[in-house]
A and B are shown apart, each in its own frame.
Chain A
């Protein structure tokens, strides 16, 4: 069994031999599964989405494979895609291991995922529009007031402002794991500026170069429409005062940012300028970009800078990355910021538990994708369960991130568990707990040939005048045998993700 950890770093997990005997009803679906779901082989037979890869896999001689692997690495190195995903730190120049064995979804599997992700993205945006206006979901008593309004990500400076089309989070990254043929769980939502989409695009590009035959033999839905769909989405949320074809730019913190490659990659694909704060300035009611031909007005800014840094006049006065006066222009309808400042309150760990309620409240639908069952220690019943099963659970601080202040029960010594028990008892409201999850596996090239390795998935949902999802996403894979650690700093790699058209 494995442990899945949400937080600043993507996640990690460790293998465990025994199957837990926990009785928690919410945990049953995931905790009691003795075996990991293998996405290619089910009871010895090949699941049909992978049929097209069976022959390819079997026919590949070792020498050919190492040749192709070396070619892939050379390609990645040449294009310079070397950034760390999700601010994990580590060497920004390090190459992410690329596994050539694709991860495949059948069309019907994908349709369900797609509906689930789109539903979630809509609900998260409805929640944001609501908590910055009348707060109906809070008034209805479904989400505790303090959790929203005292949240660090709740931005009072945008209260009362409705961004174009009511969209706050224009790119929603939803992190998913699979535990069975029809069982998907959302680990976390990313409503601010989810990164990694350049891997989705580059992985495909490289696979097509390495194995053009595969793309003739299999009907694989293309993902290269993403950049145009992103551009279209951003154009569809032009500000109130824009009466022309909107000018779009990407605002980056600069070349030292770990995702700078992605910023320049997307700007290039969309055909828009990549700018830093110093390239923009506010004059009168608008934001302008310095160019060699004089100032040009900017209408939509896809910003890859955190809220706190985008405007030193409104937020952190010491920020050198932002544009002074930007928030005044934004609030008076002169420019659109994507994502909207304050969008982070929707992807907070404590708010995560309420996303299924949001789906029901705003959309009147049942959630298609499930949350990982979460016990909130603030509730007496949950606390009792958590304390009784501490050795089996992952316990996290509500506001912690980056894996700090966290207990991974199955991986901890008795002493560590007992120490943590005291901390929970002292301040239960500060902790949530989740069961260990059995991540699915996908065949992966390893030294000895092909072997199952654990994977997860991050699709990227675009929200503008319509809500769309490119058929694909970023699959991350734990390259070490038995490991559930898909985090790149822990030896995780990436795969091309296929959605079959038929």
Chain B
């Protein structure tokens, strides 16, 4: 498939900020399931503010990380991503992706992905009677999908995996956090992946700006599971960056210095150009 992506993030500040520091994970990594045909990230700011590109590097997880600073007075910062990516359906298996972080490093929980008794029980119940690690991973993803109904607006950015499961509702970020916590209960390394999803016509729950989970399956490596949609990742998915939770994997992390409060607008369009 060839997908065209247009992703715009607009930060507005009600009072001028002295400066903004951002870390971008906005470049699709090259692997067998995807390859960028064209890709462009542009940062602009209001008149009077200055955008200074920072250092860039490929991190241990294989993601391109780009620093960016904006010298104020900043009232508006716009991060625009446009590009075209050719994708292949690899049945979720991440192959040909250069990375150095050992899978075991993903077994350590973060505040958002600490498991509780309920998550342990969910994981143990899902695994019962199954032998192969891949079956365990599939069973976990199904169990999380069944336990957490897709509902927008009930959870927040800081909602934890345990809170989500107790609530029984959430969005893709929450599904991912619960699945990561559950996988770790079975000693399976798991990580959060942020990226894009091409909208399907059937009307199943989805967001163009999406998140899912990769679980380390012995013998296969990292395999993508989208618990929100009950599938393994395929050629409709474009992978941007990963981390142990949503915060670590965020396409844009930023801190603004100044008295103002921030208003955020994100628009993402993913279009199918060629089947």
Contacts and interface: CB of A to CB of B under 8 A. Distances in A.
Contact of B60 (A145, A158, A285, A317): A158
A283 interface: yes
A149 B104 contact: yes
B155 interface: no
A285 B55 contact: yes
A284 B52 contact: yes
Interface in B140-186: none
Interface residues of A, number: 33
Given A282-B67, A313-B21, A156 B101 contact: yes
Given A150-B105, A325-B21, A329-B55, 14 more contacts: A149-B104, A149-B107, A156-B244, A159-B59, A161-B60, A284-B69, A285-B55, A324-B21, A328-B65, A328-B67, A331-B55, A331-B59, A332-B67, A334-B55
A146 interface: yes
> Chain A interface mostly helix, strand, loop or mixed?
loop
A149 B102 CA distance: 7
Interface string B93-126: 0000000111011011000000000000000000
Interface in B25-79: 52-61, 65, 67, 69, 71
A332 B60 contact: no
A157 interface: yes
B54 A282 contact: yes
B206 interface: no
The interface size bin for chain B is 20 to 34
A317 B247 contact: yes
Given A149-B105, A283-B69, A325 B54 contact: yes
A161 B254 CA distance: 22
A172 B262 CA distance: 44
Contacts of B253: 313
B255 A328 contact: no
A279 interface: no
Contacts of A133: 100
Given A154-B105, A313-B21, A313-B23, A328 B60 contact: no
A334 B57 CA distance: 11
Contacts of B56: 332
Contacts of B107: 149-150
A254 to B, nearest CB: 19
A133 B244 CA distance: 19
Given A133-B100, A317-B247, A281 B19 contact: yes
Contacts of B69: 282-284, 325
Nearest to B253: A313
B254 A283 contact: no
A343 B159 CA distance: 32
Interface string B236-262: 000000001001000001110100000
